A and B are shown apart, each in its own frame.
Chain A
Amino acid sequence: MSLTISCPICGKRDGYEFRFGGEERGPRPDEEGLTHEQWCSYVHMRINKAGIQREWWYHQEGCGSWFTIERDTLTNLEVEGREET
């Protein structure tokens, strides 16, 4: 895997060590007043961005933490050093 990922604890490592956790979409909505449609949309719908997206990764073969990085889905390269948006 050519992708490298920068773990906030372990530094830049081979993509093989990580597991993908999906695009960043914020904490889940409150149950109060939640419709089924809203819930299904939260669970199943994705933006599927072509470009730079913030996304979650888990350092499975390392420190075991979840964190976000920015990755350009068009080049499959991590975009480093950008401010968290």
Chain B
Amino acid sequence: MTDRLRNLPTMKVHPQTELTLIYAGKRLKGLASDTIATALYANGVRIFSRSLKYHRPRGLYSLDGECSNCLMDVDGIPNVRAETSLLQDNMKVEPQNVVGTPERDFMSFIDKLDRFLPAGFYYHYFHRPYRLWPFFQNRLRKAAGLGRLKPSFRMKGIFDEIYPRAEVCVIGAGPAGMQAALAAATQGLRVILLEARPWPGGFFDYRSTNDVSDIPLHQRARQLADKIEENRNIRFFPGTFMTGFYSNNLITAFQVGKETDYFDERYMEIRVESVIVATGCMERPAIFDHNDRPGIMQVACAHRLARTYGLLPGKRAIFSIGDDLGLEAAMDLFDLGLPILCVADTRSDGQAPGLVEGLEERGIPFMRGWTVSTAHGSRTLKKVTLCTLDGLENRDFKCDLLVASAGLTPSAGPLFLAQARMSYDRFTGFFLPDEMPQKVHAAGRLLGLQDPLSIEASGRLAGLSAAADCGALVKVLIKEARELLEQLPGPVRGSKFIQAPGSGRKRFVCFDEDVTVKNIYQACDLGFDHVELVKRFSTAGLGPGQGGIPGHNLPLIVAQYRRYDGDSSDPILPTTIRPPLVPAYLATYAGKSRNHPKRTPLHETMKKTPGAVFRRTGSWQRVRYFTHDFQCREEIETVRNHVGMIDVSTLGKFRVFGPDALHALQRVYVGDMSKVKEGKVKYSAMCNEDGCLMDDGVVVKTGENDYYLTSSTNRADSTAEWIRYHTRYEVWNFSLVNLTDAFGAINLAGSRSRELLQTLTDEDLSNNTFPYAGYKEFRIGGDIPVRAMRLGFLGELSYELHIPASYTRTIWDMLLEEGRPFHIQPFGLEAQNVLRLEKGHVIIGQESEIRNTLHDLGLGFLWNREKSLYKTVGAPALHFTERQNGRMKLVGFRMEDPRRPPKDGSIIVDTRIRGHVCTARYSFTLGQSIGLAHVHSDLADIGTRLEILEDDMGSKRLYAEVVPTPFYDPDGKRLKI
């Protein structure tokens, strides 16, 4: 590890705390608070990656992760931004897109082939003849892309999400952002302050100049940061990247956890009244021949490497810059020990006089109106050529570091996302807001300000304006703040310089996608001369840096091209910016795991029952089997021969009551609900407006204008919504209560169920007093109230018992205990599935889908057509569909080979697809394989032979015959005993 600078007050790394990282198999040392990138740089790593298309070597360029140069594979996660990811002990880091090593990459020959890879080359070459495109596509896919993800990859880490609310959100904790936050917080407002870097301070943080204030800027940053920390109205989120800005001032962001945080990343959705954007500036890349060579970096990158991380970025440096920050950095780095051969400034005048004098005092040659035109060196930088802006004069310098920047450009992404009206300002050379959306403010450097006092003052003004949005009485303060700002220096003239003279083939506009100026011109030549078209055709700005590097240069180059074309009146247009502003993991968006299934009141009992295998069904966790026999022979035969019971607590349960309760039922059920009699169960169905089956269940009348009804498990969550929706225009007086979770339910089924139930109650359960389709409320097991229905879903004498949830376990245990002499056994979903299949009963979602009408499913008899007055949902459609030809029908079938049921979902074919199998099982009761299927109506007649095709069956087929249902006990005698 190279020696770090010592005793700098601006240093953020801790020389006492060494961390280990393993890079390409080698153990290296870094310091606490290093990023991965700075730790690698400290270890002499200069080539960080190879570029997407040409496999050119790429190095450290900025420190804010604006390009893919620094994307690396970290601990098995590809495309991690090494520039913004903090180093952690024992991190395993691998370079990406490298065949060999970053230093010697076997694919680098592609760099020589650029002539054959113009903009949009894949459209040109590989689409003619079109039939070869799949072949080339496959090859291109293998060559393209950066990181690699193994199919076995599972994202590690803890991901969280929070939804904070506040009055004001400030994006960016530089001097302007901190002043804004303080101004608003002092008015008693809650402020959320976001900062992408791990600490506040912005561009004050690493600067030692005290030209305008009596203390160095980094000390001023510390002062403001202390005030932020002390202010209890401000919640400060460091390491937090804003991703989106939506209407109603909703800000999305994600926070990267520090080692002491409980999360690795945390998604944030922040809702506030007013927003302040104070994101400052980034540098506009200088464009010249081979401007991507490792050894070339931006001004702030070089400056921060030294000041924040204690790393002198090179041994012999050239500066080619376009603004005063570049001059300041050159002086400061010189003072820290960096030998500087010369400083070229694209501006011929306008430099702050103190800075020019400072260079002179230090003996650094200063060249006004010069810029870098070419970088030399095959892997890293060896030499640069500087030239005058007209390109007539040249000078070469041997060096290993080129600090280059064309000037500043605002980080205006949040303003674009906020839908501010932005236009190009010719004085600053910035895209500036013409008009801000309501309750959104901008402050600081991104408005073109450079003077530290002006920047702070603009922050304070924005903070007060935001306070005013929230109702604070700050008119006078705003007036004073505005007057103060007007007295201070305003926006400064920006550099207009776009690219060096000359027209080399390797000047990169976009590092991520390897797009050169030439590629941009090619796109323009082909007629894609609008900046949005150029972007898409050339792919400049479509890489992982989200347009950070090419974002501003692309519009300028396109405008330059159009000027050559004679079109000088054209406005300079920005490209559209979309969220997320910075790349984020899908895992971060997914946030917390929400796999929290609902449990029935019997869950604990089920867990203790031997052999219980649970399955997630909808929102519920239910038992599928109680044995390891997946055919459930024992469970099925127990029900058919003795008595069994199943937990059916997941059924939807509702009470509907009030003077107009019956009207509401008539509206949603297809049957005539006035026929529901006390003491009787009525089975009915609900359709949607297309006449397709939505739900089925039973309704009982528990009193005058008082009904209790069940829905299928999957509809439990939406039944209340459904009934209220379809009665929303009526002024009917009825109430609806969801009792799904208030009641547990057990279905006790089998010929001996009456005998068993009778042992628990004095109520007369004989067939005469409690017959099939009867309903009774009584007490069992002493004093537990139960609602009992005699239903026939499974084809045996059975009682569906609805019990207050907290008593359900007690009843279950009693039945199990008392049931021993009757050979009782619990059964699960699979046994229930077979039992009801033998009866030909439909399960919604299994034998029906959203396009099956009541008639398709053979349930037309449930529909009462004489109640049009009630506007029954679906009735108008049923009038039509019941006579419609060519619909699919639900039929029962029996396999020719009794031992071989087809898989659920197999298709029914003749010369084409004619239907599909819904459910098919071997029936132990019948000694046959049976099933239900949807087939075209011309295959629905009894006796029709069906050809069934399973996956991977080739020319083989299974054969079945359409038979009437129910398969078991067709007369329903066993229900009525």
Closest to A67 in B: B728
A31 near B248: Cβ-Cβ < 8 Å: no
B247 near A77: Cβ-Cβ < 8 Å: yes
With A36-B880, A39-B876 known as contacts, the answer to whether A27 contacts B725 (CB < 8 A) is no
Closest to B689 in A: A43
Query: Shortest beta-carbon distance, B415 to chain A, in Å?
Result: 17
Q: Complex formed: what's the CA distance from A31 to B729 in Å?
A: 16
A-B contact pairs, 29 of them (CB 8 A): A1-B250, A2-B246, A2-B247, A2-B250, A3-B247, A3-B248, A14-B163, A19-B721, A21-B725, A26-B729, A27-B729, A30-B868, A31-B868, A31-B871, A36-B876, A39-B876, A39-B877, A43-B689, A56-B725, A58-B721, A58-B725, A64-B720, A64-B721, A65-B724, A66-B724, A66-B725, A66-B728, A75-B247, A77-B247
A32 near B729: Cβ-Cβ < 8 Å: no
B725 near A31: Cβ-Cβ < 8 Å: no
**A73: CB under 8 A from chain B?**
no
Interface mask (A56-73 → B, CB under 8 Å = 1, otherwise 0): 101010001110000000
Which of B689, B721, B876 has a CB less than 8 Å from the CB of A60?
Answer: B721
**B791: CB under 8 A from chain A?**
no
**A28: CB under 8 A from chain B?**
yes
Closest to A60 in B: B721
Find chain A residues with CB under 8 A from B720 CB. Answer: 64
Q: Complex formed: what's the CA distance from A8 to B721 in Å?
A: 17
Interface size on A, residues (CB 8 A): 26
Find chain A residues with CB under 8 A from B868 CB. Answer: 30-32
**B690: CB under 8 A from chain A?**
yes
**A50: CB under 8 A from chain B?**
no
Find chain B residues with CB under 8 A from A21 CB. Answer: 725
A31 near B247: Cβ-Cβ < 8 Å: no
**B276: CB under 8 A from chain A?**
no
Interface contacts beyond A2-B248, A14-B163, A31-B875: sample of 10 additional A-B pairs, CB < 8 Å, sorted by A: A1-B250, A2-B247, A27-B729, A30-B868, A31-B871, A34-B876, A39-B877, A58-B721, A64-B720, A77-B248
Query: Shortest beta-carbon distance, A30 to chain B, in Å?
Result: 7
B871 near A30: Cβ-Cβ < 8 Å: yes
Q: Complex formed: what's the CA distance from A34 to B876 in Å?
A: 8
Find chain B residues with CB under 8 A from A27 CB. Answer: 729
Give the residues from 8 to 55 in chain A that come closer than 8 angstroms, CB to CB, to chain B: 14, 19, 21, 26-28, 30-32, 34, 36, 39, 43
Query: Shortest beta-carbon distance, A59 to chain B, in Å?
Result: 10
Find chain B residues with CB under 8 A from A36 CB. Answer: 876, 880
Find chain B residues with CB under 8 A from A75 CB. Answer: 247
Closest to A31 in B: B868
Closest to A59 in B: B721
Q: Complex formed: what's the CA distance from A19 to B889 in Å?
A: 33
Find chain B residues with CB under 8 A from A3 CB. Answer: 247-248
B250 near A43: Cβ-Cβ < 8 Å: no
Closest to B870 in A: A31
Which of A4, A56, A66 has a CB less than 8 Å from the CB of B248?
Answer: A4
Closest to B247 in A: A2
Q: Complex formed: what's the CA distance from A31 to B870 in Å?
A: 10
Give the residues from 717 to 771 in chain B that come closer than 8 angstroms, CB to CB, to chain A: 720-721, 724-725, 728-729
Closest to B717 in A: A60
Q: Complex formed: what's the CA distance from A64 to B718 in Å?
A: 10
Query: Shortest beta-carbon distance, A55 to chain B, in Å?
Result: 12
With A4-B248, A58-B721 known as contacts, the answer to whether A43 contacts B690 (CB < 8 A) is yes
9 nearest interchain CB pairs? Answer: A2-B246, A2-B250, A27-B729, A31-B868, A43-B689, A66-B728, A39-B876, A2-B248, A2-B247
Q: Complex formed: what's the CA distance from A34 to B877 in Å?
A: 11
Find chain B residues with CB under 8 A from A43 CB. Answer: 689-690, 877
Find chain A residues with CB under 8 A from B725 CB. Answer: 21, 56, 58, 66
Interface mask (B232-253 → A, CB under 8 Å = 1, otherwise 0): 0000000000000011101000
B247 near A76: Cβ-Cβ < 8 Å: yes
Query: Shortest beta-carbon distance, B887 to chain A, in Å?
Result: 15
Interface mask (B155-177 → A, CB under 8 Å = 1, otherwise 0): 00000000100000000000000
Query: Shortest beta-carbon distance, B717 to chain A, in Å?
Result: 9
Q: Complex formed: what's the CA distance from A66 to B690 in Å?
A: 22
Query: Shortest beta-carbon distance, B348 to chain A, in Å?
Result: 47
Find chain B residues with CB under 8 A from A14 CB. Answer: 163, 271
Closest to A68 in B: B728
Q: Complex formed: what's the CA distance from A36 to B877 in Å?
A: 8
Find chain A residues with CB under 8 A from B880 CB. Answer: 36, 39
With A31-B876, A36-B880, A43-B690 known as contacts, the answer to whether A64 contacts B247 (CB < 8 A) is no
Find chain B residues with CB under 8 A from A66 CB. Answer: 721, 724-725, 728
Find chain A residues with CB under 8 A from B690 CB. Answer: 43
Query: Shortest beta-carbon distance, B244 to chain A, in Å?
Result: 9
Find chain B residues with CB under 8 A from A76 CB. Answer: 247
Query: Shortest beta-carbon distance, B638 to chain A, in Å?
Result: 41
Q: Complex formed: what's the CA distance from A57 to B721 in Å?
A: 10
Q: Complex formed: what's the CA distance from A12 to B685 in Å?
A: 36
Closest to A32 in B: B868
Find chain A residues with CB under 8 A from B876 CB. Answer: 31, 34, 36, 39
Closest to B727 in A: A66
Query: Shortest beta-carbon distance, B652 to chain A, in Å?
Result: 14
